[in-house]
Amino acid sequence: MDDALIEKLGILADAAKYDASCASSGAKPRRGGKEGLGSTTGAGICHAYTPDGRCVSLLKILLTNHCLFDCVYCINRRSSNVRRARFTVEEVVTLTLGFYKRNCIEGLFLSSGIIRSPDHTMEQMMLVARTLRRNHGFAGYIHLKTIPEASPWLIEQAGLWADRLSINLELPSDHSLKAFAPEKNGGTIKAVMGQVNERIVEAKEERRRFSPAGQSTQLIVGADDATDRSVLETSGTLYQRYGLRRVYYSAFSPIPEASSVLPVKPPPLQRENRLYQADWLLRYYGFTVEEIASGGEGGMLDLGIDPKLAWALKNRERFPVDVNRADREMLLRVPGLGARAVDKILSARRHTRLRMEDLGRLSSGLRRARPFLIAADYHPVGGLTDRLDLRQRLVTPSSQLSLF
Amino acid sequence: MLTITLREGADLGGFRQAVRRLAAARTAPDEVLWSVGAPSLFGDEAPPSEDGAPVFLPQAVGRLIETVVCHSDPERYALLHRLVWRVLNGERALLDQHADPLVHRLERLDKAVRRDIHKMHAFLRFRALPGPDGGERYVAWFEPDHHIVEAVAPFFVERFESMVWTILTPKGSLHWDRQRLMTGPPAERPDSLADDRFAEGWQRYYESTFNPARVNPTAMRAEMPRKYWANMPETAAIPAMVRSAPTRVQAMLEAEAAVPRRRMPEKAVAAMARQAPESLAELNRLIRRSEPLVPGATRAVLGEGPEGAAIAIVGEQPGDQEDRDGRPFVGPAGQLLTAALEEAGIDRGGLYLTNAVKHFKFIQRGKRRIHQSPTAGEVKHYRWWLMTELGFVRPRLVVALGATAALALSGRPVAVLRERGPMAFDGWSGFVTVHPSYLLRLPGDEERRRAQAAFVADLRRAAALA
């Protein structure tokens, strides 16, 4: 590893960092053995955290940040003056193996600007994955960004080597996409998501390996005028129709060399956090988009409180909930109770009638849950949920890092 | 009061032995004092036959014990003994009672140990040093909170089985020589572990992947507390990264929207649209250099015949002979097809012959390679190639031989015997008939003759349609 390679690494890591995805989970177990290198365990590991609080799990780099596309939100668009660099296939392989052997990473997350053509670019990326797997017996995690404009055969091939494929939708509506990413097309992107989903499902049924950790995507929040409701509706469709494993939300972040079309001020990061919380409610807590959106105003989530609490405050007649009787669905709707706490409650209450003291051992969010609960020895006095100042009483700055 | 002294660290064996004895003697937790350090009560000399009888515990209890013995809390054995005692005395499902104070406490110990294990998997860093025989060996220093050195070993062995490595900690050490794992005594922090260029590269990566516009050191420290930083080279840059973040962001916000310095690469942008293969030969080059999408497969067997042929015949996949020769329809089924074409008065040389799947899928049995039918999913992996291929050949009629070809062309499962005859494929006039290998498999002569005649009749009909 020489100075030039370190320099390139700096440029191409910087260029890749706006992709929020970092997961290294969900892969089928795999091990490299005596001749190869590495393993995937299914769980994923964060090997470091940077001072932005995000985890470093995969070596997240671009093959090149030269790009023929001109997406205004992207630092690498062809009209940007950013410094450019390009790795060879061998260089990416060397870096991945070197960092992996030092236990810095779980594997590689490779994306790229479009050079020459989408097909050419995709084939180079695939070549990296193939070289790692076949020539080096690499059994670590590989996440390949799929270029939706590439020919379908490349996607058929990419799934052989990758643990996860992802295609970034970036903007929730077709018209934003048209305005901000002239070379992209929402229809093409969704067609490829459909193709990938079909192959993943078939392979799973036939017990073959094809992108075993599924596919994911990213939506940029705050670059266009989309409401939270429409973002979540898009996510809901993506989860249902295309079987996506994850939708990542990336609050549009100021970039050097920004385009004049973009908003000057970035959206509050809290908006991204609220969307992640809402996403969890969508996937694990049985909420619909409509219910989540109804907690806020005008299609936007309440930035001050989490979306579950927001929903509960607007549906106070559904509370308080008796922890010793309520079904799982309703317990999941109690602010402050996570899915794990709910499961513990369900298993513990088979043996004993739960009191507040017991609940304190089962859940760490009891302070927020308290006004919405009934326990063996506790009934909220004077209908706590009727108090107008309940929102204020529950919102203190310290309680705002939850769920995600 | 009975005092039981176990080994330093995670003495699972000692604890198990003690529990067996205590259970056999029905000794209650209040009568036992657990300590750690001196030689074990039952000593190494106690032969295994003198162990108390095994104690039957629910699996979850066994798993919990295995983790909690690793904790550095001196009370761990007493707590675990209390758990075992209660489980053996009528509370089999005690672990489900998450609100029970003892269970709650043990769950927290369990969680702390798991977290420690997880963080060691995550934050340990190897440095490469020159090894014997010119290779590299890898060394790491790590300071876990709990006695987890042996618990983490399987992870590192599995992941780095092909490397020679040593992990040193104040609680014990591990050494892997690619064959065997050796455990060693507690180690001292090495004076210095030389950094190589990869450590430098990693630090550059760490700095570059950080987004100053999102600075949030609290979230970082919640997951990566300071105590781990000393052994992670990349963290040296953290203070400067945090300090410079606001000015970097301010500079971005104040910078005027950039005017592109380079001119728009019009030609290159226009050229992007012409990425698809422009000829059959180009497509075939792609197929040939691609990875097979079925197991087995030694080479791609490509289509054969003139572009512009009136009829394209699509089979299932190359067989053993086709795979050896690199040509379609040259094995037994191919010969049968040739004969049937002759009988139908069709010139094989004027046809385009190809397969839905371009590789021979087989499993090896001794010296024989046994044909395996491609799955529906595998057929779809090849579908774009097939359709693009037909797009170059542009036949007037596409004949599907057998179910696989019919599936590939129509995109749905087809019952060949019931649906044989004309069928519209995705954009092509089509015709479905049996695959000649089906004729080879028919048992009786008479039956085969009849089927063969029907096959020839189908070919005649298809030729008339084209």
- Tens of pLDDT, residue by residue over B209-225, are 999 989 999 999 999 99
Spans of chain A, pLDDT less than 50: 397-404
Best mutation site among B157, B214, B359 for testing chain A: the one with the most A CBs within 10 Å? B214
Is B80 inside a domain boundary?
yes
Considering the domain architecture, whether residues B391 and B415 belong to the same structural domain is answered as yes
Considering the domain architecture, whether residues B114 and B22 belong to the same structural domain is answered as yes
Considering the domain architecture, whether residues B132 and B109 belong to the same structural domain is answered as no
Number of separate domains in chain A: 2
Subunit contact A37:B377, Cβ cutoff 8 A: no
- From chain B, the residues in CB contact with A102 under 8 A are 125-128, 138, 198-199, 202
Best mutation site among A6, A45, A103 for testing chain B: the one with the most B CBs within 10 Å? A103
Question: For position B138, what pLDDT does the model report?
Answer: 95
Question: For position A403, what pLDDT does the model report?
Answer: 42
Question: For position B266, what pLDDT does the model report?
Answer: 87
Subunit contact B252:A256, Cβ cutoff 8 A: yes
Q: Which residue of B has its CA nearest to A265?
A: B253
Point out the domain boundary residue: B167, B184, B201.
Answer: B184
pLDDT band at B294 (very low <50, low <70, confident <90, very high): very high
Considering the domain architecture, whether residues B88 and B154 belong to the same structural domain is answered as no
**CA-based nearest distance A314→chain B, Å:** 30
Point out the domain boundary residue: A152, A178, A211.
Answer: A211
Give the DSSP letter of residue B231.
G
Point out the domain boundary residue: B100, B119, B138.
Answer: B119
Is the pLDDT at B194 greater than 90, yes or no?
no
At A351, which amino acid appears? H
- From chain B, the residues in CB contact with A78 under 8 A are 260, 264-265, 269
Torsion angle of C-alpha atoms A101, A103, A105, A106, degrees rounded to 10 = 90
Considering the domain architecture, whether residues B334 and B454 belong to the same structural domain is answered as yes
Model pLDDT for residues B231-267, shown as the tens digit of each residue: 898 999 999 999 999 999 888 888 877 777 888 888 8
Model pLDDT for residues B299-308, shown as the tens digit of each residue: 999 999 999 9
Strands B428-433 and B421-425: antiparallel
Q: Which residue of A has its CA nearest to B229?
A: A48
The phi-psi region of residue B305 (left if phi > 0; otherwise alpha if psi is between -120 and 50; otherwise beta) is left
Considering the domain architecture, whether residues A203 and A345 belong to the same structural domain is answered as no
Q: Which residue has the tokens 């089928």?
A: A28
Interface ipTM: 0.92
Considering the domain architecture, whether residues A204 and A330 belong to the same structural domain is answered as no
Is A235 inside a domain boundary?
no
Give the Cα-Cα-Cα angle A114, A156, B309 (nearest 5 degrees).
100
* Cβ-proximal residues to B6 (8 Å cutoff; 6+ apart), any chain: B14, B15, B18, B34, B35, B36, B40, B41, B77
Model pLDDT for residues B1-49, shown as the tens digit of each residue: 899 999 989 999 999 999 999 999 999 999 999 998 854 344 444 444 4
Provide the residue range defining the domain that includes A396. 317-400
Point out the domain boundary residue: A211, A232, A258.
Answer: A211
Point out the domain boundary residue: A211, A235, A270.
Answer: A211
Considering the domain architecture, whether residues B43 and B135 belong to the same structural domain is answered as no
Question: For position B45, what pLDDT does the model report?
Answer: 41
Rounded Cα distance between B310 and B349, Å, is 11
Considering the domain architecture, whether residues B318 and B446 belong to the same structural domain is answered as yes
Subunit contact B213:A254, Cβ cutoff 8 A: yes
Question: For position B39, what pLDDT does the model report?
Answer: 47
Subunit contact B162:A33, Cβ cutoff 8 A: yes
Considering the domain architecture, whether residues B139 and B40 belong to the same structural domain is answered as no
CB atoms within 10 A of CB B123: 25
Higher pLDDT, B252 or B442: B442
Is A368 inside a domain boundary?
yes
**Mean of all residue pLDDT scores within chain B:** 92
Question: For position A269, what pLDDT does the model report?
Answer: 86
Q: Which residue of A has its CA nearest to B122?
A: A47
Number of separate domains in chain B: 3
Considering the domain architecture, whether residues B324 and B429 belong to the same structural domain is answered as yes
Considering the domain architecture, whether residues B290 and B393 belong to the same structural domain is answered as yes
**CA-based nearest distance A80→chain B, Å:** 6
Is the pLDDT at B92 greater than 70, yes or no?
yes
The phi-psi region of residue A336 (left if phi > 0; otherwise alpha if psi is between -120 and 50; otherwise beta) is left
Question: For position B286, what pLDDT does the model report?
Answer: 95
State both tokens at B15.
Answer: 């604890």
One DSSP character per residue, B155-209 reads: HHHHHTTTSEEEEEETTEEEEE-SS-EEEE---PPPS-----HHHHHHHHHHHHT
Annotate A172-200 with b (16+ C-beta within 10 A) or e (fewer): bbeebbeebbebbebeebbebbebbbebb
**Which of A152, A253, A344 faces B213 most closely, judged by CB atoms?**
A253
Question: For position A398, what pLDDT does the model report?
Answer: 44
Question: For position B44, what pLDDT does the model report?
Answer: 44
Instruction: Using alpha carbons, select from A22, A92, A99 the residue that is nearest to residue A64.
Output: A92
- From chain A, the residues in CB contact with B105 under 8 A are none
Question: For position B316, what pLDDT does the model report?
Answer: 97
CB atoms within 10 A of CB A89: 17
- From chain A, the residues in CB contact with B380 under 8 A are 198-199, 202
Over residues B410-426, the mean pLDDT reads: 95
Provide the residue range defining the domain that includes B167. 124-184
